[in-house]
């Protein structure tokens, strides 16, 4: 194995991990961008999505590719309910109240997961098509590591189109500026917020499925670390900015892999790396790489 192919292998590994972070960060950043709400339960909705897929594949006769569509849809509906129960009653409260409610929702889902699914890990049934290895000039690539970036990019493009070009997307953007004015303009706020949450949770579930296919170990607390990392990715990219979230995800993933690969002594600080990046970004450019500076309204 030459040095070049070794580097290429590290690069591939990094892109694979980065695109996973990016994928989860998209949902995170979308909900924030529109509702100005950091949905801390995002990582746990991600976990629910993976478990739903797991049960769908193992306990129903539905073909796996259909489960990959149905499970995110159901997760989306769960997210929608979560908003109705945990966030809607607090819509007029200070932002910190909703944030605390989000943390509560996160703990609730985690512990619900432990009660319902048990503490022992389960093996994600990876479809055979997604799980074979291709070799390109000494670099081994599992098909799934190729699919994840493609899905991420497709979602990035699709979502950007949706938000900038469609009527619902326009309503979302209007809402992100000002609730009251938007509702005066005839926008049904509840409907738009529901759609936002549905989509955010659906994206979390898609990220979850990809994660499960890459790292097929399911645990009720599996959403915590990916949730935190993609939150950081979203902040690094400029929270609320979808392209920024994708960029942030790639930076984190590549950075993590390169840290372990090139400085093996620092492996123990792998998780800390993400937080160090977060601190640096917050110090140097608090609005994130691609975020817009918000002007204070007087």
Partner 1 sequence: MKRKIGLMLLVLVVACSSWVGFAFAQPIKIGVFEPMTGPSAAGGEMTVEGIELALEMKGEVLGREVQIIVVDNKSDKVEAANAVSRLIERDQVVAIIGSYGSSLSMAAGDIVNKAKVPTVGCSPTNPLVTLNNDYYFRVCFIDPFQGTVMANYAVNELGAKTAAVIQDVTQDYSVGLSKYFIDAFRKLTGDPNSIVEVSAYNTGDQDFTAQLTNVKNKQPDVIFAPGNYGESALLIRQARDLGIEVPFLGGDTWEAPEFLSIGGEAVEGAVFSTHFTAEAPVTPESDKFLAAYREKFGKEANAFAALGYDAYMLILDVIEKVGSADSQAIRDGLAQVEGFVGATGIITLDENGDAVKSAVINKVEDGKFVYLTTVEPF
Kindly state the smallest distance separating residue 205's Cβ from partner 1, in Å.
Answer: 18
Smaller CB separation from partner 1, 9 or 183: 9
Cα→Cα distances 234→8, 23, 267, Å: 26, 10, 23
Radius of gyration of the chain measured on its C-alpha atoms? 19
Kindly state the smallest distance separating residue 31's Cβ from partner 1, in Å.
Answer: 24
Smaller CB separation from partner 1, 42 or 172: 42
Residues 46, 61: contact at Cβ < 8 Å? no
Kindly state the smallest distance separating residue 16's Cβ from partner 1, in Å.
Answer: 7
Strands 133-136 and 139-142: antiparallel
Token reading at 233: 């990715």
Kindly state the smallest distance separating residue 50's Cβ from partner 1, in Å.
Answer: 12
Phi-psi region of 239 (alpha: psi -120 to 50; beta: other; left: phi over 0): beta
Whole-angstrom distance, CA of residue 288 vs CA of residue 81? 31
Whole-angstrom distance, CA of residue 38 vs CA of residue 203? 15
Smaller CB separation from partner 1, 42 or 214: 214
Smaller CB separation from partner 1, 205 or 239: 205
Smaller CB separation from partner 1, 118 or 286: 118
Structural element, H or E, at residue 123: strand 122-123
Smaller CB separation from partner 1, 39 or 142: 142
Residues 101, 39: contact at Cβ < 8 Å? no
Kindly state the smallest distance separating residue 53's Cβ from partner 1, in Å.
Answer: 16
Q: List residues near partner 1 by CB under 8 A.
A: 1, 6, 9-10, 13, 16-17, 114, 118-123, 133, 135, 140, 142, 215-217, 219-221, 225, 256-261, 264, 267-268, 270-271
Kindly state the smallest distance separating residue 13's Cβ from partner 1, in Å.
Answer: 4
């Amino acid at each position: 194995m030459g040095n070049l192919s070794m580097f290429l292998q590290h690069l591939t590994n990094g892109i694979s991990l980065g695109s996973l972070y990016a994928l989860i960060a998209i949902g995170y950043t979308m909900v924030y961008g529109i509702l100005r709400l950091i949905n801390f339960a995002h990582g746990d909705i991600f976990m629910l999505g993976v478990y739903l897929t797991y049960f769908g594949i193992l306990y129903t006769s539905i073909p796996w590719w259909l489960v990959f569509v149905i499970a995110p849809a159901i997760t989306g509906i769960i997210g929608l309910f979560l908003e109705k129960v945990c966030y809607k009653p607090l819509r007029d409260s200070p932002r910190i109240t909703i944030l605390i409610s989000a943390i509560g929702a996160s703990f609730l889902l985690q512990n619900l997961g432990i009660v319902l699914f048990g503490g022992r890990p389960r093996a994600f049934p990876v479809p055979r098509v997604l799980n074979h290895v291709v070799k390109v000039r000494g670099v081994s690539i599992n098909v799934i590591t190729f699919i994840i970036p493609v899905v991420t990019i497709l979602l990035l493009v699709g979502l950007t189109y949706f938000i900038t070009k469609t009527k619902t997307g326009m309503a979302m953007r209007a809402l992100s500026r000002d609730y009251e004015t938007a509702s005066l303009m005839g926008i049904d706020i509840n409907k738009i917020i529901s759609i936002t949450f549905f989509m955010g949770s659906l994206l979390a579930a898609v990220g979850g499925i990809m994660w499960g296919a890459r790292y097929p170990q399911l645990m009720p607390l599996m959403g915590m670390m990916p949730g935190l990392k993609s939150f950081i990715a979203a902040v690094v990219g400029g929270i609320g900015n979808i392209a920024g979230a994708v960029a942030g995800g790639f930076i984190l993933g590549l950075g993590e892999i390169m840290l372990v690969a090139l400085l093996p002594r620092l492996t123990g600080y792998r998780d800390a790396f993400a937080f160090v990046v977060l601190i640096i970004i917050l110090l140097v450019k608090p609005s994130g790489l691609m975020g817009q500076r918000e002007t204070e309204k007087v």
